[in-house]
Amino acid sequence: MQQSRISDLAYNAAQRFGDKTALTLPGLRSFSFQEIDDLAGRMAGAFAARGLRAGDRIVLHLPNGWQWVVAYHAIARLGAVVVPANFLLSAEEVAFILDNSEAAALIVPADRRASFKTKAHVFTLGEAPEAEELTTLLDGEYRLPVERRPDDLFTIGYTSGTTGRPKGATMTHAGLFASLAGTATIHVRHDGDAVLTSLPFPHVYGNIVMNATFLVGSRLITTPRFDAAEALRLISAEKATLFEGVPTMFYQMLAHPNIANAGLTSLTRCTVGGQTMPTAKIDAVTSRFGCPLLELWGMTEVAGPAITHSPYWSPRPGSIGLPMPGLEVRLADLEEPKREATPGRPGELLVRGAMVTKGYWRNEAATIEAIDPDGWLATGDIARTDADGYIFVVDRKKDMIITAGYNVYPAELEQVIAMHPAVAMVAVAGIADEEKGEIAQAFVVPHRDVALSEEALLNHCRKHLASYKIPRRVIFVEDLPKNSTGKVLRRSLREANVPA
């Protein structure tokens, strides 16, 4: 079996780690590597008996759980193409993915079956009309992984669709494995790890976390949804060595009253991705959790994490780290994209390599727009590098605010505002202004039971920012709008345009 094929991952793990625990569902049960392999092999055999074959697209729309893990590896073992659909997506969004991917099958909870009118095979978690119950497939004949080439299509990951209909980024076995192996190596993952996460498995970050279990033999502890109190409890109860999440998860744990007595001594490192995190909050996490917080950068189009830190490297606050082996990076000038950005100045981050998508499914126009003839993918992130090559994301290109001709980056403002001890969470968005074109507006979630005024925050900003960068307004809110993976949606804040 070739290790560079995801189709072999569960089988190889069973051969290496056998009865060792692979997956723990707190309050429910645990599964060994051998059990996962056996269940995936039987489900793959049942898929084949129903006419599904290598190359077919199968939409997987379930919450985190053993059924998701088994179905994923069954699809892989069949040689079919996994099309993950986040469980928090609406029926309309999933229907688009089902249609656009030309899927041969759909796996969905029973109570959502009625939302989909399709000629595809439908397998449901629970009984539903015009569908087969998923667990009945576990009676299939055990099937070994089919022969697939590393450059065969393995998954189609649909983007979040913040600028219109989502696009399906294609990824090969080798591309996904490059990200998986690089992440596991740089983060020093090993078979003694107990990894806690609530990241959704359909998301590229959550998917890499899940697959790393099968690569290195660690134990994965997962819950369907994130809850700060439960996460703090599980770190102690399960003796987690690694917690992985997005910034908002860490913010909520830091703000939770249970943090004062939480047992976090088992942690040896944490990872955070999905969005840039203010250095003040990184410092707060490392201080309270007592371990390094490793930032990482990735996107659907690069199979998962592609730039990150190692716990053995010297900390670079605010940096997303260094590119993984096999990933090329360059910064394009913002005014003349064909030129390299001047050293030390921001430019658009371009990436190229095995882990980068070759294009969008059935969308040639979007592929041509995003990937140049030399294979460089325009990420839409504005970044800079330091003298040692460490990369710092300045902001999203589309989030940049132009006020009276000056470029203002929301992430820079968020870094400064987050330094104020009374601020729990913050997001900055640009809103239209007749005089200046755009102005910056800060949306702030204060810590509970702490008095905080707009003037106090603006005075804080004046100490750290040029006058043109200071937010013109501060809006205090109870929470920030987020997508299904916990990423703050600046677009929603811009559209809200809270009246003065």
Left if phi > 0, otherwise alpha if psi is -120 to 50, otherwise beta: which for 122? Answer: beta
**Residue spans of alpha helices (H) in 171-246:** 173-186, 204-216, 228-237
Q: What is the pLDDT of residue 500?
A: 43
Rounded distance between C-alpha atoms, residue 362 and residue 20, angstroms: 42
What does the buried/exposed string (b/e) look like for 296-318 if buried means 16 or more CB atoms within 10 Å of the residue's CB?
A: bbbbbbbbbbbbbbebeeebbeb
Other beta carbons within 10 angstroms of residue 99's beta carbon come to 13
From edge to edge, which strands make up the β-sheet containing 242-245? 29-32, 21-25, 219-222, 194-197, 242-245, 269-272, 293-299, 304-308, 322-323
Domain boundaries, the chain: 1-396, 400-496
CA 345, chain centre distance (Å): 27
Pair 430, 438: CB distance under 8 Å:
yes
How far are the Cα atoms of 19, 62, 267, 269, 396 from residue 22, in angstroms, in the given order? 9, 19, 19, 20, 37
Could you give the angle at which helices 9-17 and 33-49 cross, rounded to 10 degrees?
Answer: 150
**3-state percent helix, strand, coil for the chain, nearest multiple of 5:** 35, 25, 40
Structure tokens at 172: 């090969």
**All residues at 6 or more sequence positions from 273 whose CB lies less than 8 Å from its CB, including other chains:** 205, 246, 295, 296, 297, 298, 305
Amino acid sitting at position 249: M
Q: What are phi and psi of 453, to 5 degrees?
A: -110, 160
Rounded distance between C-alpha atoms, residue 338 and residue 350, angstroms: 11
Amino acid sitting at position 414: E
Q: What is the pLDDT of residue 3?
A: 64
- 3-state SS class at 213: helix
The yes or no reply on domain 1-396 and CATH 3.40.50.12780 is: yes
Q: Which residue in this structure is represented by tokens 């009118």?
A: 117
How far are the Cα atoms of 280, 311, 470 from residue 416, in angstroms, in the given order? 8, 26, 10
Indicate the CATH number for domain 400-496: 3.30.300.30
From edge to edge, which strands make up the β-sheet containing 327-332? 327-332, 347-353, 377-385, 391-396
Going residue by residue through the chain, which has 500 residues, state the pLDDT in tens, using 9 for 90 and above. 456 789 999 999 999 999 999 999 999 999 999 999 999 999 999 999 999 999 999 999 999 999 999 999 999 999 999 999 989 888 888 999 999 999 999 999 999 999 999 999 999 999 999 999 999 999 989 999 888 899 999 999 998 654 467 899 999 999 999 999 999 999 999 999 999 999 999 999 999 999 999 999 999 999 999 999 999 999 999 999 999 998 889 999 999 999 999 999 999 999 999 888 889 999 999 999 999 999 999 999 999 899 999 999 988 888 999 999 999 999 999 888 888 988 888 999 999 999 999 999 999 999 999 999 999 999 989 899 998 999 998 877 788 787 876 778 888 899 899 999 999 999 999 888 877 778 899 999 999 888 899 999 999 999 988 788 899 999 999 999 887 677 788 778 876 655 44
Rounded distance between C-alpha atoms, residue 276 and residue 295, angstroms: 8
**Global pTM exceeds 0.95:** no
